[in-house]
């Protein structure tokens, strides 16, 4: 029987109520690093740690005494070398030969402890992960708050932008209204001024013709001055009226394919005599094949203006060239009027298309409106008017129009 008990995987200890161990099997002796002889006669509390002892006294032993048994009580045992060993203890109280004996079976809980440790470790890992998650959640909350703040900021910005764009829209409308009113005013005034001016011209001609009697040479000269001023004023008013009409969008463009050669040929009769009188050489190079999308009258008006300017600003003996080239992909024609005249300062090149800009001092001829009108007309035909010039060398004005297939 005793041998059998020694082979058990659990310890067996029997002790009397005086606490002295009467029997200990080999297993418990091995577990606690004692010999069996050393254990026998030893007080059972000497194989318990302090905590084990307290538990034994307050719990285990009272249970045994009161109920006769104690099941699965965890006691911390103390090995001979002082190390702790956890054990689950089942105890039964019985009487043998008139002596009360407490038989205990001790199951070492190293395995269980290992699980508990692992559980503890897992719990710690879970707690750490939890703490990390909480930290991340907090960061996320902070980021969300930050994003919300940014969103609000963006919304404010957006509202401001909408407000500004409404204000801009209002200002634009106001400016357009003002511009329309200006154009309307110019159109009305120009019309009102032209009528009496035409009358002045007519009456001066009547006097010049001697309808009211003979006039002296001095009177004729004075009348000539009156006529020149009248014509200048009339041209100015006509130009103003044109510009006002164009800017008010009151001009209709009848766009159709027009041969550039025909356009140029159409204006030559008005230009050639003056060219010859000003001792200028005019050379034309416009292939018959090139056609452009244009309103013929308006394109002619532009060419007359460019050629008149070339004549005005080129000293006798100079040259005026008209030619046409196509751009690289053949969609635009560049009709160029070049002269070898006085040229234009580079810093003035941008402003010459503005109304009333005249670069020469005390310029009596012209109104400073021709280029403004010409550019507006070119743009109105879907084209453009450009300039390149070098002071003292000459200028090139380029009328750009879309190429057309012949009708
Ligand atoms: P204007 O009736 O005075 O000719 P434009 O609008 O046609 O009015 O021209 C504006 C100004 O641009 C001219 O007064 C002149 O100073 C300058 N300009 C125009 N064409 C030429 C040119 N071919 N060479 C030099 N200057 C020019």
Q: What is the pLDDT of residue 251?
A: 86
Within a domain: 343: yes
Longest dimension (CA), the chain: 181
Protein residue with its CA nearest to atom 23 in ligand 1: 310
Least confident span in 118-122, 205-209, 297-301, 312-316: 118-122
Last residue within a domain, chosen from 110, 139, 168? 110
Domain contains 270 = yes
**pLDDT tens digits for 34-73?**
999 999 999 999 999 998 899 899 989 999 999 999 998 8
Q: Do 35 and 149 belong together in one domain?
A: no
In this predicted model, what pLDDT tens digit does every residue of 179-231 receive, in sequence order? 788 777 877 887 788 888 889 999 999 999 998 899 999 999 999 999 988 98
- Does 146 lie in the same domain as 236? yes
Closest ligand 1 atom, residue 337 Cα: 23
Average pLDDT score over residue span 238-252: 81
Q: In the predicted model, what is the mean pLDDT of the chain?
A: 90
- Shared-domain flag, residues 103 and 224: no
Q: Are residues 322 and 274 in the same domain?
A: yes
Number of domains making up the chain: 3
Least confident of 15-19, 93-97, 159-163: 93-97
CA 310 – ligand 1 centroid, Å: 8
Q: Report the alpha-carbon distance of residue 339 to residue 335 in Å, rounded.
A: 13
Helix ranges, 56-109 (H): 61-67
Query: Within a 13 Å sphere around the CA of 253, how many CA atoms are in the beta-carbon half?
Result: 19
pLDDT digits (tens, 9 = 90+) for 154-187: 999 999 999 999 999 999 999 988 878 877 787 7
Of 197 and 396, the one with more pLDDT: 396
The pTM score is 0.57
d(CA 227, CA 222): 9
By most ligand atoms within 8 Å of CB, the mutation choice from 352, 394, 396 for ligand 1 is 352
Q: Ligand 1 centroid to 331 CA: how many Å?
A: 29
- Residue 358 alpha carbon to ligand 1 centre in Å: 6
Which distant-in-sequence residues (6+ apart) come within 8 Å of 106 by Cβ?
A: 10, 11, 12, 13, 28, 31, 75, 77, 87, 88, 89
Q: Which atom of ligand 1 is nearest to the CA of 310?
A: 23
Give the pLDDT band of residue 325 (cuts 50, 70, 90): very high
Q: Are residues 394 and 269 in the same domain?
A: yes
> Of the residues 94, 110, 126, which one is the last residue of a structural domain?
110
Instruction: Clarify whether residues 83 and 164 are in a common domain.
Output: no
What letter would DSSP give residue 364? -
Q: Is residue 407 part of a domain?
A: no
Do 261 and 151 share a structural domain?
A: no
Looking at 7-11, 119-123, 294-298, which range is the least confident one? 119-123
Q: What is the DSSP string of 257-269?
A: EEEHHHHHHHHHH
In order of 3, 88, 115, the CA distances from 120 in angstroms are: 39, 19, 8
**Residue that finishes a domain, picked among 248, 272, 299:** 248
- The answer to whether residue 102 is domain-embedded is yes
pLDDT band at 363 (very low <50, low <70, confident <90, very high): low
Residues 387 and 314 in one domain: yes
Domain co-membership, 71 together with 138: no
- Ligand 1 centre to CA of 379 (Å) is 19
Pocket (CB within 6 angstroms of ligand 1) = 305, 309-310, 313, 339, 341-342, 344, 352, 357-360, 363, 366-372, 395
């Amino acid at each position: 029987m005793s041998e059998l008990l020694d082979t058990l995987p659990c310890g067996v200890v029997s002790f009397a109520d005086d606490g002295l161990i009467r029997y200990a099997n080999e297993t418990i002796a091995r577990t606690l690093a004692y010999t069996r002889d050393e254990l026998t006669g030893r007080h059972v509390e000497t194989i318990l740690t302090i905590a084990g002892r307290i538990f034994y006294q307050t719990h285990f032993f009272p249970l045994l005494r009161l109920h006769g048994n104690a099941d699965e009580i965890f006691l911390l045992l103390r090995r001979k070398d002082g190390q702790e060993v956890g054990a689950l203890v089942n105890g039964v109280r019985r009487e043998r030969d008139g002596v009360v004996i407490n038989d205990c079976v001790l199951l070492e809980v190293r395995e269980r402890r290992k699980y508990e440790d692992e559980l503890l470790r897992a719990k710690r890992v879970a707690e750490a992960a939890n703490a990390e998650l909480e930290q991340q959640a907090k960061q996320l909350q902070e980021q969300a708050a930050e994003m919300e703040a940014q969103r609000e900021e963006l919304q404010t910005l957006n509202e401001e932008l909408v407000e500004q764009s409404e204000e801009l829209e209002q200002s634009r409308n106001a400016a357009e209204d003002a511009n329309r009113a200006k154009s309307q005013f110019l159109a009305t005034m120009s019309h009102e001024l032209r009528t009496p001016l035409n009358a002045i011209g007519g009456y001066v001609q009547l006097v010049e013709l001697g309808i009211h009697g003979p006039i002296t040479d001095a009177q004729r000269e004075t009348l000539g001055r009156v006529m020149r001023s009248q014509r200048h004023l009339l041209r100015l008013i006509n130009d103003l009226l044109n510009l006002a009409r164009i800017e008010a969008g009151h001009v209709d463009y009848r766009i159709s394919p027009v041969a550039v050669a025909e356009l140029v040929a159409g204006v030559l009769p008005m230009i050639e005599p003056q060219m010859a009188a000003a001792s200028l050489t005019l050379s034309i190079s416009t292939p018959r094949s090139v056609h452009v999308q244009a309103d013929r009258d308006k394109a002619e008006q532009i060419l007359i203006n460019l050629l008149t300017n070339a004549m005005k600003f080129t000293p006798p003996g100079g040259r005026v060239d008209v030619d046409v080239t196509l751009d690289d992909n053949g969609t635009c024609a560049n009709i160029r009027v070049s002269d070898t005249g006085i040229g234009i300062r580079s810093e003035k090149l941008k402003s010459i298309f503005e109304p009333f800009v005249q670069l020469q001092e005390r310029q009596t001829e012209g109104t400073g409106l021709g280029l403004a009108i010409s550019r507006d007309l070119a743009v109105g035909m879907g084209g453009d008017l450009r300039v390149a010039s070098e002071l003292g060398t000459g200028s090139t004005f380029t009328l750009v129009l879309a190429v057309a297939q012949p009708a």
